[in-house]
Structure 1
Amino acid sequence: MARIAVIGAGMGAMAAAARLAVAGHRVVVYERTETYGGAVRRLTRDGFSFDTGPGLLPLPAVYRDLFVKTGKEPLESLVELVQVDPSARHVFADGTELALPNASRAGAVSALDAALGGGAGERWGDFLVRAREAWDRTRRPLLEEPLWPNWADLAEREPYPSVPHRRLLRTRQAGTLAEVGAFELRDERLRALLESHALAYGLDPRTAPASAAVLPYMEHAFGTWYVRGGMRELARAVYERCVARRVEFVFGAEVTGIVEKDGRAAGVELAGDTSGAPGSGGGSVVEADHVVAGVAPAVLDRLVPGTVPVRGAGEVAAQRGMPARLTVLLALRGGRPEGTAHRTVVHPADRESELDRLFGAEAGLPTASTVTVLRPDDPALVPDAEHEAVTLSVTVPAGLSPSASDVGRIMETAERAIPGLRDRVLWREVRAPGDITEETGVPGGAVPAPALAAAGGRLLQPSNGTRLPGLFTVGGWSHPGGGLPHAGMSGALVAGLIVEGPDFRGSQ
């Protein structure tokens, strides 16, 4: 039985802890805040309740697998999963509206033809077929296996089978997601639909590789799900599974360093003693056979300078700056109208200007942003049926401190999805990137993107192993990247590497 110290109680870290405990190891999780879940948290006030992190769950099979592998109780016995249908309602700049069915190709084709005109559905359906091919080519190396030692193969090879596009005397194939939209979808609204999937993960569709087509495909193929009571209920279930498997949690325990001995990780240094009791005095050292770090690379580098995650044979993993997320939590008077879509995406008229402001040299909040509006049909979130809890979400530059006028513009955009919105507001809470930094320690409140193939490896997240033997990384800032399912898979990969050793080749 090995002693394993886990830094942080995020979703990936807890997924690793539960699997390692079931394998017979003694696991202790050290969390600097007073609760678990990382960015998956909840705000409650006056009978209202809001998710302050992710609001929906793609690919729930990852967490079903976690609960099957760590005990007899399946996930559905602990939380209620609800498939969201329609998957999303889209409000385009020209006033066109589209309700996209959940996990139904035929339904999506029919809805697109009805909303956007004949041929739109067929073009989107054909795109999904090609996206599936990219998914099939990259699913195992990007989700189910440790990052290949020869990761350059993933970096150089574009898995998306682009359709040749002939213009005048030239024939080109799409190399970016934006080019996929321009060459293959050929409708500004379809392009906005496609590009919104990349933007939701903080990716610029103009530079994101064509392989980012797997993002809308994943949602289409496996559906979009909501956890009754809010996504915090999923974090609670994972935490309670850890406790049931005798994982020990120490809250209020800040790790200030990683101990090295004989050339490998040998424990962690804490700002207080191992009890985490207030006023306990000076720092202490906790010995461990392995250390699992669920922190961003900048935080890890402070804990053990120079020991960053590696890609393959000693390659330093280059971290690209990622945008953050701004959310506005709205307590509304008046109940949720029957038939309201759970999720509505409101698209701006000038997407190019939005992308320039988000990803350009002088980053700032765009005048008009893509706004995602979440309106769950969940009595647990409101004091009674005469009120509604709504969350607005916008991709913003990391570190942004929004002004009142910034929030006002977001509210104005959201009113295209909820007419009369501002007259219904009882109160609102604005969650800026700085709040994410406070809860997770991530500089600028940046949100990591999922790992993607091609693009020279720019979007391959760092491997779960590091240059320091015995030290592993887990969570959104390591392979296979950001997003709830990817965090869960990182936990499975780290557990496999520790239990089975460096010859571990991934889940079966």
Structure 2
Amino acid sequence: MAEVIVVGAGVGGLAAAIRLQHAGHRVSVLEQSSSVGGKLGTLEHDGFVFDTGPSLVTMPHILAELFAATGTPVDDVLDLQRLPIAARYRFPDGTDLDVPGDLAEIPDALDAALGAGCGAQWSSFLDHARRIWDATHGPFLESPISLRDMASLARRVDDVRTVAPWSSLRGLASRYLHDPRLRMMADRYATYTGSDPRRAPAALASVPWAEQHWGSWYVRGGLGRIAIALTDRLNALGGHVETGTAVREIRVRDGRADGVITAAGDLRPADLVVANADAAQVYSSLVDTSPARRQLRRLQRSTPSLSGFVILLALGDEPPGQPHHRVLFPTDYDAEFDAVFGRQGVPRPVTDPTVYITAPDDPAIVPAAGTGAWFILVNAPRHDPESGTDWDSDGLVQSYADHVLEVMAARGIDVRHRIRHRIELSPADLARRTLTPGGSIYGSSSNGPRAAFLRPANASPIPGLYLVGGSAHPGGGLPLVLLSAKITAGLIGRA
């Protein structure tokens, strides 16, 4: 039995803490914020409840396995509901497409909305994506990553052909998808890792397959309930979370992590430390050793992931018949990625962005029938005052929010006259709230053929220190963060 301190009460930190506490360790979670959840945030105002992070649960069996493995069925603590319509897409030509939540129904829906043959194109693409999943999910997504794993895959010629490490997501999709609207749908999945589809690896095709195979789910009351359920489970097992306690340093003595020092100067000794913080933050601010500096230099060679600009809308009179999730595509998708990643100039706000609208049909998150709590997201460059976008510059946040609402109106969703109040959250706000450098949602992007497999390892090069969360292996998003926690807890169990 070990004394374990987890730094950060995001989903990854809480999930790792639950597994470790259940395994017999004594676990304390220290969270600098006054609330739990990390990027899975919640904001309440005037009776409206907003999720400020993920809007959907995908691969819900991973969440269910965590609770089942540690003593309780997920259905006892969370009301998970499968969405009949996963998303409504609006394409630049004005075509609307409702993607069913049932994979078997998707080809017919594509044919009906986009034209005969589109369903077959998408099915062929997903068949290849399924084979990528089969080749990669065991050795990469569910296991500690190592160069030995990559070498093992390289020796399996058929798997190499399937994963196509020399190809981008855009390149692979173009082999199967001849309708430009289908290619836009495929491109969108690069943003699940904060990446550019022209540079993200073809392996990311497994993302749409997994999402559509297991469906899209919502938690009644908002996805923030997940963090509460995780905290409750940890408490029931005997662990505890201490909010409002920032960590200034992960102490390393004789080459081994042996505790943390809080911002108040208190030493909290531990046998093991699990950092649920952005890897760049860990290796630049919390640990100062030669191995940490080497890891930081490696991270600095990667491309940071994109960030997001969020508008929370409290609507006094919600338009009827809204889908849970809506995506409004721009005329020029490439121009969006050029702007966010600084091609042909510095990283900059997108003039004609893709707009993501989440409008849950959930009485638990609004003060009265007929009102709506809408989450609006657009891809955005990270906060970088020195060489990119300074999101704290006077008037930028308000003027850009106005612009996004104008874009929505031009694409047929004009709710400006229905707004009771609005709240903007910029990449700078995200950086401050989660201590994520620049507000990069996923740490490093998956831009480049090897990037998706070379995230910081869960076992750091410093004995006694482990990493968990979206910036570490295997990546960002709720299911991968939960897998990260399982991997980290397994490594500690074998240590």
Whole-angstrom CA distance in 2 between matches of 1:310 and 1:155: 27
Whole-angstrom CA distance in 1 between matches of 2:353 and 2:364: 30
Report SS of the residue matched to 1:195: helix
Q: In the alignment, which residue of structure 1 is the partner of 2:219?
A: 227
8 Å contact 2:135–2:163 — kept in the other structure?
no
Q: Which range moved further: 244-253 or 15-24? A: 244-253
Q: Which range moved further: 450-459 or 190-199? A: 450-459
Greater helix content: 2
Deviation of 1:227 after TM superposition, in Å, equals 0.5
Q: In the alignment, which residue of structure 2 is the partner of 1:168?
A: none
Whole-angstrom CA distance in 1 between matches of 2:153 and 2:435: 29
Give the gaps of 5 or more residues in structure 2: 384-388
Q: Which range moved further: 389-398 or 144-153? A: 144-153
Pair 1:200–1:315, CA change in 2 (3 A): closer
Deviation of 1:181 after TM superposition, in Å, equals 3.1
Superposed CA offset, 1:435-486 (max 9, x none): 2112210111111179979813465311101111111011111111111111
Q: In the alignment, which residue of structure 2 is the partner of 1:94?
A: 93
8 Å contact 1:310–1:466 — kept in the other structure?
no
Q: Is 1:345 aligned to 2:327, yes or no?
A: yes
Superposed CA offset, 1:317-365 (max 9, x none): 5543111111111111214514x21111000011121121112341111
8 Å contact 1:309–1:463 — kept in the other structure?
no
Q: In the alignment, which residue of structure 2 is the partner of 1:64?
A: 64
The aligned amino acid for 1:326 is F
Of residues 217, 238, 251, the one that matches 1:246 is 238
8 Å contact 1:83–1:224 — kept in the other structure?
yes
Whole-angstrom CA distance in 1 between matches of 2:375 and 2:354: 14
8 Å contact 2:163–2:202 — kept in the other structure?
no
8 Å contact 2:201–2:452 — kept in the other structure?
no
Report SS of the residue matched to 1:485: helix
The aligned amino acid for 1:224 is S
8 Å contact 2:194–2:446 — kept in the other structure?
no
Whole-angstrom CA distance in 2 between matches of 1:334 and 1:150: 57
Percent identity of equivalent pairs:
36
Q: In the alignment, which residue of structure 1 is the partner of 2:280?
A: 298
Report SS of the residue matched to 1:455: coil
Superposed CA RMSD in Å reads: 2.5
Give the gaps of 5 or more residues in structure 1: 165-172, 273-282, 502-508
Q: Which range moved further: 192-201 or 290-299? A: 192-201
Report SS of the residue matched to 1:239: helix
Whole-angstrom CA distance in 1 between matches of 2:226 and 2:163: 40
Whole-angstrom CA distance in 1 between matches of 2:144 and 2:407: 42
Of residues 128, 135, 156, the one that matches 1:130 is 128
Superposed CA offset, 1:350-381 (max 9, x none): 11211211123411112100111111010011
Q: In the alignment, which residue of structure 2 is the partner of 1:388?
A: 372
Of residues 417, 435, 438, the one that matches 2:432 is 438
TM-score (norm 2): 0.91
Whole-angstrom CA distance in 1 between matches of 2:444 and 2:263: 32
Query: What are the within-5 Å matches in structure 2 for residues 77-226 of structure 1?
Result: 77-105=76-104, 107-153=105-151, 175-226=167-218
Whole-angstrom CA distance in 2 between matches of 1:112 and 1:189: 10
Whole-angstrom CA distance in 2 between matches of 1:449 and 1:8: 15
Of residues 371, 377, 387, the one that matches 2:361 is 377
8 Å contact 1:346–1:416 — kept in the other structure?
no
Deviation of 1:13 after TM superposition, in Å, equals 0.6
Q: In the alignment, which residue of structure 2 is the partner of 1:51?
A: 51
Whole-angstrom CA distance in 2 between matches of 1:342 and 1:417: 17
Superposed CA offset, 1:399-431 (max 9, x none): 152443322221123236664311111111011
TM-score (norm 1): 0.89
Q: Is 1:21 aligned to 2:15, yes or no?
A: no
Whole-angstrom CA distance in 1 between matches of 2:377 and 2:364: 21
Query: What are the within-5 Å matches in structure 2 for residues 5-16 of structure 1?
Result: 5-16=5-16
8 Å contact 1:450–1:476 — kept in the other structure?
no
8 Å contact 1:59–1:222 — kept in the other structure?
yes
Pair 1:421–1:335, CA change in 2 (3 A): closer
Whole-angstrom CA distance in 2 between matches of 1:113 and 1:287: 61
Whole-angstrom CA distance in 2 between matches of 1:432 and 1:154: 42
Of residues 480, 493, 497, the one that matches 2:474 is 480
Pair 1:235–1:450, CA change in 2 (3 A): farther
Query: What are the within-5 Å matches in structure 2 for residues 241-390 of structure 1?
Result: 241-272=233-264, 283-301=265-283, 302-305=285-288, 306-308=290-292, 316=298, 319-338=302-321, 340-361=322-343, 362-390=346-374
Whole-angstrom CA distance in 2 between matches of 1:206 and 1:475: 25
Report SS of the residue matched to 1:472: strand
Pair 1:39–1:19, CA change in 2 (3 A): same
Whole-angstrom CA distance in 1 between matches of 2:270 and 2:82: 42
Deviation of 1:151 after TM superposition, in Å, equals 4.7
Q: In the alignment, which residue of structure 1 is the partner of 2:386?
A: none
